[in-house]
Structure 1
Amino acid sequence: MSEPLDGIASVLERTGEYRVLRRLGAFAGCGEAPDEPTFIGLILDTETTGIDHARDEVIELGIIKFEYGASGRVYRVLEIFNQLHQPRGPIPPEITRLTGITDADVAGHRIDDAAVQALAADAAVVIAHNASFDRQMCETRWPIFAEKNWACSCHQVPWRQEGHEGLKLGYLLVDYGYFHNGHRAIDDCHALLALLAAPLRLSGRLALACLLETARKPTVRIWATGSPIETKDVLKARSYRWSGRRRCWYIDVAEDQFDIECGFLSREIFRGEIRDLPADRITARDRFSLRTNPEA
């Protein structure tokens, strides 16, 4: 934004009657040399022909490779990758309406699989704003993503506790005073990098630091196998979810909440001692993967 326009925006904001949104610019990094151990991260986003990982295809892949410190500080962007891909059939009209990607845009294009493999090889973590979707779409085509630690910036950052009402990328950007061209893969990657590099609104902690802290903690998936059908509303009220494949209710809890949850099941659901309760330990290496998808 030019200086005169910046001045106008500042005047409007000072009145308290207006909020001005600025177009998100390119991430400039922190401008300082690292004084701590550093790692390589990927921010990844996909545009696809649909939501079925077994049937639908990635038509655009965006990746930003960046260097970050143990503190969660983002130091610099290392590489930007954005490629289109022509799917086997026509792009559904609803996808074109959402993304703006047409059959003509992708005609003759193919994502370079070897380049993706090389880009991801040294990454310590892959971050997506809906990791349960993006991971499953990616590891179907690029097996290297099945071997990586993943983190979800939508659900593993305490946005609501930090004063945000919406979790969508565009809503979060607006709360920080910015807008971007949404629903294109690399634009969403740039937006997410800016959010993760910034301090959270209330605590002041770096968003990336909070995300990594949560992602590193193992969780336990508890299966309420054999729970009486009349207890389903009690389980739903406690945030248990139904697995159609395994035909039972389950919940993911932090490791230190395992005994508490077992106590709840014993008292409220099974009304007696529980033996050999099925449970799976899940880490960032498996979280959001097809391997841990309860419906896969």
Structure 2
Amino acid sequence: MEKQASAGRVNAGGDEKTRVLHRLDVREGPTGDGDDLDATIGVAIDVETTGTVVHLGTIIELAIRPFRFDADGVITDIGPIYSWTEDPGYPLTPETTAITGLTNEDVAGQRIDEAEATRLLRSASCIVAHHAAYDRPYVERRLQGARGLDWACSFSQVDWRSRGFDGRNLGYLLQQAGHFFRPHRATADVDALVQLLRHRADDGTTVLAELLGRMRAPSWMVYADGASFDAKDVLKARGYRWDPDRRAWWTEIADDARMAEEFWLATTVYAAGCGARAMAPRFEMVTAADRFL
């Protein structure tokens, strides 16, 4: 991977007539960037599955690529890619094959090396996925020895718009960064993620640096317990989602946003006359070790 490509910028001027896309080529070895003396290990991860609900589906492909990064969030070295397919024990549906590109022949008799995959994940200080809320439950269900590690999500924990990108789809982000690839296979998605983590903003900060800052900061799960039915529209408009198991509206907020959220809830949802069946919301602290579950 060339240093120039990894440090590219999104053209926000809008006056270009032609854009050239380069085939994604993530190469193993030193990147030529950053300070590797005190570098830390991270891993990029992706899974392909037979379903979108973790208790109904199973992993059929797992890809992991370790990398080293310095204190500024600059990737200094890229490790080899590890990839396994796994036979789910039943035929793949045509829909699964269409989405993942995997066929019954690709997975027949195959098995994930559980010990090696667990070792790789446990060797890292952070596990990065583009949809951690999707990948993490599947991974921890399959690799029980890799539970409780620190996860980060490049989809939800990066302010892509402020970096000049539109949307958050992995393939679309990569195109805007000047590359194309074959999406949806786990190995390709992992390499696309590594490339994006190296991308720099105009001030020189990498996507990984922003992501690590968000990962390390605690956040809060807010449950609007006992909120009246009439409050559903204002809660939804503020970004709350309904949890049918807890029977409560919930959202996740940054640590420094807690005071403002408490005030908003007190005046909008729990004030006299609002019909709430509880005195106040419930706040639960979340860290990288238990986020996205």
> TM-score by structure 1 length?
0.88
1:32/1:240 CA distance change after superposition, 3 Å:
closer
Question: SS of 1:147's equivalent?
Answer: coil
Q: Counterpart of 1:3? A: none
- Tell me the distance in 1 between the aligned counterparts of 2:35 and 2:80: 18
Write out aligned runs for 1:1-296 (5 A).
16-27=16-27, 29-31=30-32, 34=35, 37-200=38-201, 202-272=202-272, 277-289=281-293
Q: CA deviation at 1:30?
A: 2.4
Deviations 1:191-245 (A, max 9, x none): 1101101203x44321100000011111111111111211111111111111111
Question: Conserved in 2, the CA contact under 8 Å of 1:47 and 1:183?
Answer: yes
Q: CA deviation at 1:34?
A: 2.7
1:32/1:166 CA distance change after superposition, 3 Å:
closer
Q: CA deviation at 1:55?
A: 2.3
Question: Conserved in 2, the CA contact under 8 Å of 1:59 and 1:87?
Answer: yes
Q: CA deviation at 1:164?
A: 1.4
Deviations 1:226-266 (A, max 9, x none): 11211111111111111111111112111121121111111
Identity, % of aligned positions: 38
Runs of at least 5 residues in structure 2 that lack an aligned partner in the other structure:
1-14
- Tell me the distance in 2 between the aligned counterparts of 1:222 and 1:26: 39
Question: Conserved in 1, the CA contact under 8 Å of 2:21 and 2:175?
Answer: yes
- Tell me the distance in 1 between the aligned counterparts of 2:31 and 2:51: 37
> May I ask how many residue pairs the two structures share in their alignment?
274
Q: CA deviation at 1:138?
A: 0.4
Moved over 4 A (4+): 272-276
Deviations 1:86-135 (A, max 9, x none): 11111111111122110011112111111112212221100000000000
Question: Conserved in 2, the CA contact under 8 Å of 1:120 and 1:144?
Answer: no
- Tell me the distance in 1 between the aligned counterparts of 2:39 and 2:178: 29
Question: Conserved in 2, the CA contact under 8 Å of 1:162 and 1:203?
Answer: no
Q: CA deviation at 1:33?
A: 7.3
Please say which of residues 18-27 and 279-288 is displaced more in the overlay. Answer: 18-27
Question: Conserved in 1, the CA contact under 8 Å of 2:222 and 2:281?
Answer: yes
- Tell me the distance in 1 between the aligned counterparts of 2:177 and 2:92: 34
Higher relative contact order (CA 8 A, sep 6+): 2
Tell me the amino acid that sits aligned with residue 55 of structure 2: A
Question: Conserved in 2, the CA contact under 8 Å of 1:40 and 1:67?
Answer: yes
Runs of at least 5 residues in structure 1 that lack an aligned partner in the other structure:
1-14, 290-296
Tell me the amino acid that sits aligned with residue 182 of structure 1: P
Question: Conserved in 2, the CA contact under 8 Å of 1:36 and 1:70?
Answer: no
- Once superposed, what is the RMSD of the aligned Cα atoms? 1.9
